[in-house]
């Protein structure tokens, strides 16, 4: 047996690390070795003496693994390797020592222990050393034996790994896994190691495909990673997800906007648009903005009467839906699309004058006199028809100039009062005589002329 001391060149480092952080590094190394050597799953157990063991079944730890150096094997691997920079093991040993945890490591290449020793040639400088006994041992892999680790510390260390949690994976994509969140919080794992907690995320996630930008942003500890580091990968996961479980959760979020408690993923326009597309495929819905609820209540009411579920969306979401349709993608049923669909399938229900009630007939009989107010007499006066139903327009539903019929069509409800009927009739007559649309200069000009004629006639009387 030959025992030698290997200087780790460590005095005091990582004051903020606790025992569970050191446990994380040991577990991460064991998991990496399991992947690289294609060996059995690692084991974490407690023996009858109360010592914790973290055991892999790989190629066995060697003394050279204690040097500070990038691991070329890990850096060159296409496997989802956790650690690559050769510093985690030394940091873990320093943390264990500072926290009073005794560490013994056994592998087929020898036994390793940690103790404080004076640096060679400098008796006044004390650093951590690995005491290496190179006696070969009949053991496969590496066994970390930890004395002084509490069950709570071990549980906290294991909880930093997806593999030791009871998280439910809903779907695995090429970018990572979408995981059902726990009632307490959602978590973001990177290569199976906890990176951040997200209390208002809809799902938890495990990112397994890292971009170069992500690798640069990740801190060595993989903890408290900023959201900008993983946002794009989470979006990619959700966009490529196919499972009904993921889709169901996304769709359910659309109805939460009204209550003000949507999850944060819905703030990303790509994901909210995905949810809108999914709901459009599944149900009869109409997407309506807050403004449209206020300005077009009749049209919204029509949609509800037709059995459509009205979903409130933002103006930006509506614009995104319109851009999607313009680019040749699926057309979602916005309120404007619903109005078009309604009108394309619309049929008038005309009412003959003889079938109007007495009050309605009396008001309708005033038609020639109302049109004469603006000098519209036969043959210039438009034909006027009464219908129980009316096409939907962006501004009103009381009447329309239907060029295909060459007639002004007035909704029967307008005959409840002279003022309402006269206003609707003259409005549509202006369309008939000008051929102009609402809010156009030509239409406004005709309306102004009508107002002048009516005012002049009223003043003469």
What six digits make up the tokens of 344?
A: 């394309």
Whole-angstrom distance, CA of residue 6 vs CA of residue 18: 24
Q: Which domains does the chain have, with CATH numbers?
A: 3-160 (3.30.565), 283-345 (no CATH), 353-460 (3.30.2010.10)
Alpha helices in 38-120 (DSSP H): 72-75, 88-98
Report cis status (omega within 30 of 0) of the bond before 379: yes
- Burial tier of 453 (Cβ tally within 10 Å: 0-12, 13-18, 19+): middle
Tokens of 333: 């049923």
Q: Which helix (H) or strand (E) holds 217?
A: helix 212-217
Closest-CA residue to 183 (of 171, 195, 196, 166): 166
Q: What's the pLDDT at 394?
A: 53
Three-class SS of residue 61? coil
Structure tokens at 59: 């190629």
Q: What is the predicted pLDDT for the residue at 2?
A: 67
Rounded to whole angstroms, how far apart are CA atoms 420 and 414? 6
The better pLDDT of the pair 415, 450 is held by: 415
Band of the pLDDT at 452, cuts 50, 70, 90?
confident
Helix axis angle, 441-460 relative to 418-434, nearest 10°? 130
pLDDT of residue 277: 97
More confident residue, 389 or 82: 389
pLDDT for res 287: 96
Give the per-residue pLDDT at 67. 74
Peptide bond into 126 cis (omega under 30): no
Q: What is the pLDDT of residue 335?
A: 93
Q: Where are the alpha helices (DSSP H) in 218-314?
A: 227-240, 244-254, 269-282, 290-295, 297-305
Instruction: Count Cβ neighbours within 10 Å for each residue of 101-111 and write b for 16 or more, e otherwise.
Output: bebebbbebbb
- At residue 67, the 3 state secondary structure works out as coil
Under the banding of pLDDT at 50, 70 and 90, the label for residue 461 is low
Q: For 26-65, how does the pLDDT look when each residue is reduced to its tens digit (9 = 90+)?
A: 999 999 999 999 999 999 999 999 999 999 999 999 988 8
Rg of the chain's alpha carbons, rounded to an integer?
38
Phi-psi region of 133 (alpha: psi -120 to 50; beta: other; left: phi over 0): beta
Residue 316 confidence (pLDDT) = 95
Query: Where is 351: in which H helix or E strand?
Result: none
Q: How far apart are CA 62 and CA 73, in angstroms?
A: 15
Least confident of 59-68, 144-153, 200-209, 258-267: 59-68
10 Å Cβ neighbour count for 266?
A: 18
Percent of the chain past pLDDT 90, that is, above it, reads 58
Q: What is the pLDDT of the chain when averaged over all its residues?
A: 88
Contact 84, 71 (CB under 8 A): yes
If DSSP codes are grouped into helix, strand and coil, which group holds residue 7? Answer: strand
For residue 335, what are its two tokens?
């309120």
What is the C-alpha end-to-end distance of the chain, expressed in Å?
126
Per the CB < 8 A criterion, the answer to whether 128 and 97 are in contact is: yes
DSSP string, 347-386: ---B--GGGS-HHHHHHHTTHHHHHHTTT--TTTSPEEEE
- pTM, entire model: 0.74
Q: How many CB atoms are located within 10 Å of the residue 434 CB?
A: 17
Contacts for 72-79: CB closer than 8 Å, 24+ residues apart: 73/36, 74/32, 74/36, 77/35, 77/36, 79/35, 79/36
pLDDT band at 124 (very low <50, low <70, confident <90, very high): low
Q: Binning pLDDT at 50, 70 and 90, where does residue 397 land?
A: low
Give the H/E segment covering residue 62: none
pLDDT tens digits along 126-150: 678 888 888 998 999 999 999 999 9
The C-alpha atoms of residue 302 and residue 339 are separated, in whole angstroms, by 9
> What are the start-end ranges of the E strands in 156-243?
169-172, 176-180, 186-190, 193-198, 203-207
């Amino acid at each position: 047996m030959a025992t030698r001391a290997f200087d780790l060149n460590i005095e005091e480092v990582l004051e903020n690390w606790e025992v569970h952080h050191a446990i994380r590094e040991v577990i991460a190394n064991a998991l990496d070795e399991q992947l690289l050597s294609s060996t059995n799953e690692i084991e974490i157990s407690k023996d009858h003496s109360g010592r914790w063991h973290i055991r892999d079944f790989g190629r066995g730890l060697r003394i050279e693994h204690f040097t500070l150096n990038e691991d070329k094997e890990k850096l060159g691997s296409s496997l989802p390797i956790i650690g690559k920079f050769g510093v985690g093991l030394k940091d873990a040993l320093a943390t264990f020592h500072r926290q009073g945890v005794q560490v013994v490591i056994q592998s087929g290449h020898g036994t390793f222990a940690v103790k404080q020793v004076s640096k060679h040639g400098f008796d006044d400088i004390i650093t951590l050393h690995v005491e290496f006994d190179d006696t070969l041992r009949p053991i496969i892999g590496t066994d970390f034996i930890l004395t002084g680790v509490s069950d709570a510390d071990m549980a906290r260390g294991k909880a930093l790994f997806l593999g030791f949690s009871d998280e439910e994976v809903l779907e695995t994509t090429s970018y990572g896994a979408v995981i059902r969140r726990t009632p307490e919080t959602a978590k973001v794992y990177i290569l199976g190691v906890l990176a951040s907690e997200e209390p208002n995320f809809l799902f938890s996630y495990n990112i397994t495909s890292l971009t170069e930008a992500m690798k640069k942003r990740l801190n060595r500890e993989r903890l408290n990673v900023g959201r900008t580091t993983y946002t794009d990968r989470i979006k990619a996961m959700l966009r490529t997800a196919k499972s009904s479980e993921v889709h169901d959760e996304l769709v359910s979020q659309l109805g939460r906007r009204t209550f003000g408690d949507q999850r944060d993923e819905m703030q990303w326009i790509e994901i909210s648009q995905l949810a809108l597309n999914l709901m459009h495929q599944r149900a009869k819905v109409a997407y309506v903005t807050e403004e449209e609820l206020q300005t077009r209540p009749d049209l919204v009411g029509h949609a509800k009467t037709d059995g459509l579920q009205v979903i409130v969306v933002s103006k930006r979401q509506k614009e995104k839906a319109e851009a999607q349709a313009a680019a040749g993608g699926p057309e979602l049923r916005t309120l404007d699309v619903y109005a078009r669909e309604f009108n394309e399938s619309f049929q008038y229900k005309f009412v003959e004058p003889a079938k109007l009630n007495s009050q309605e007939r009396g008001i309708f009989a005033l038609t020639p006199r109302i049109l004469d107010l603006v000098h519209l007499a036969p043959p210039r006066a438009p034909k006027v028809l009464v219908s129980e139903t009316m096409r939907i327009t962006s501004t009103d539903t009381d009447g329309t100039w239907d060029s295909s019929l060459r007639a002004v069509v007035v909704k029967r409800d307008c005959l409840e009062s002279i003022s309402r009927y006269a206003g609707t009739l003259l409005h549509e007559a202006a369309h008939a005589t000008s051929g102009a649309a609402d809010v156009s200069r030509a239409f406004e000009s005709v309306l102004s002329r009508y107002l002048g004629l009516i005012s002049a006639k009223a003043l003469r009387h």
